[in-house]
Amino acid sequence: MAMHNNAQQEINDFFKYLEIQKRASIHTLDSYQRDLRQLRHYCENQELRRWDDLQALDVRNHIANRHRKGLSSKSLQRELSAIRSFYNYLLQQHKVNTNPAAHIRAPKQPRKLPRLLDVDQLTGMLEAPADSMLEIRDLAIFELFYSSGLRLSELAAININDLDFSLRSLRVRSGKGGKQRELPVGRQALRAINEWLKFRKPIHGVDENALFTSKQGRRLGQRSIQLRLDRWCKKRGLPEHVHPHMLRHSFASHLLESCQDIRAVQELLGHSHISTTQIYTHLDFQHLAEVYDRTHPRAKNKKNK
């Protein structure tokens, strides 16, 4: 059953309002037109003739149908945004009494597992010889990333006096949310840092205590660290783009795989909530599943002879 003639006119009026008064972009207008076209199809299939016939349960069913057809969470969120905006406009025009999409939420997007390097890749990357003073510094940076699971911002902010070589520890002063934490530092990372300190020039000024400095003697910035890591990995022939957070992810996953103590890994990473750390349990299971598939004699079907 077709909707009432006024239904399409109200959509047309809504788009004039978006274009003239809200100055919406062409992209938004095109997307919203597609979304409201889908909503109208739903209403006609359900024999709803007017926009005020649509209820919250209808919106929920419509979004569920779209989800079953394979739409992503991001696309469904946009569709809901279009429906809410349309009904807010109808409310302003006194065409409806409620907004049926006001409290409807799209299904959550499945959380993407972080990419990481395996132990062999990291070993090859960290044990490659340095060809210059700057590469000696870079290796110290990469060793410390992987040794202590630091965030990029945390590593860039490290000062020399944050390190305690006798206790093999590091104080992170600028953690997320302004939190400080004490971290162990591995022997290989300390050895690499000591090697760098032989070449680091004395600095005078604001950043005189910075651990990692540029050729000009200034604290090394986050972007520079990213570029140096990318350059090093390309030089070593790693098959994918490597960014600093991959070293942090690799640290967490490899540690959890060995110790199985998620609370300890949470503390080392500086996560406020255990739920943030739990993503590494999925990575660990993924690794175990891959090992199982490769090695268990009954994991795969025998090929037909």
Indicate the pTM of the whole model.
0.55
Amino acid identity of residue 108, one-letter, is K
Residues 130 and 25 in one domain: no
User: Which residues does residue 219 pair with via DSSP β-bridges, in sequence order?
Assistant: 213
Residues 60 and 152 in one domain: no
Burial, 213: exposed, middle or buried (Cβ in 10 Å; 0-12, 13-18, 19+)?
A: middle
Structural domain contains residue 179:
yes
| Under 8 Å between Cβ of 128 and 177 | no
Task: Report which secondary-structure segment, H or E, holds 86.
Answer: helix 73-92
Residue reference for tokens 């349960």? 57
Query: What is the domain-level CATH number for residue 42?
Result: 1.10.150
Structural domain contains residue 301:
no
Burial, 265: exposed, middle or buried (Cβ in 10 Å; 0-12, 13-18, 19+)?
A: buried
Structural domain contains residue 156:
yes
Structural domain contains residue 139:
yes
Residues 88 and 147 in one domain: no
Residues 141 and 279 in one domain: yes
Burial profile 31-50: b = 16 or more Cβ within 10 angstroms, e = fewer: bbeebbebbbebbeeeebbe
Instruction: Tell whether the torsion through CA atoms of 130, 220, 272 and 277 is positive or negative.
Output: negative
Of all residues in the chain, what percent carry a pLDDT higher than 90?
49
Residues 75 and 123 in one domain: no
φ/ψ bin of 176: left (φ > 0), alpha (ψ from -120 to 50), beta (otherwise): beta
Residues 214 and 138 in one domain: yes
Residue spans of beta strands (DSSP E) within the chain? 163-164, 169-172, 181-184
Structural domain contains residue 304:
no
Q: List the structure tokens of 31.
A: 């997307």
Write out the catalytic residue numbers.
Answer: 151, 176, 245, 248, 271, 280
**Which range of residues forms the domain containing residue 18?**
5-92
Q: What is the pLDDT along the chain (305 residues), one digit of tens a residue?
A: 678 889 999 999 999 999 999 899 898 999 999 999 999 999 999 999 999 999 999 999 999 999 999 888 889 999 999 999 999 999 999 999 999 999 999 887 666 656 778 888 888 889 999 999 999 999 999 999 998 888 899 999 999 999 999 999 989 887 776 778 888 889 999 999 999 999 887 776 666 889 999 988 889 999 999 999 999 988 888 767 788 888 888 888 777 776 666 777 777 776 666 666 566 555 554 554 555 566 555 555 554 44
The count of structural domains within the chain is 2
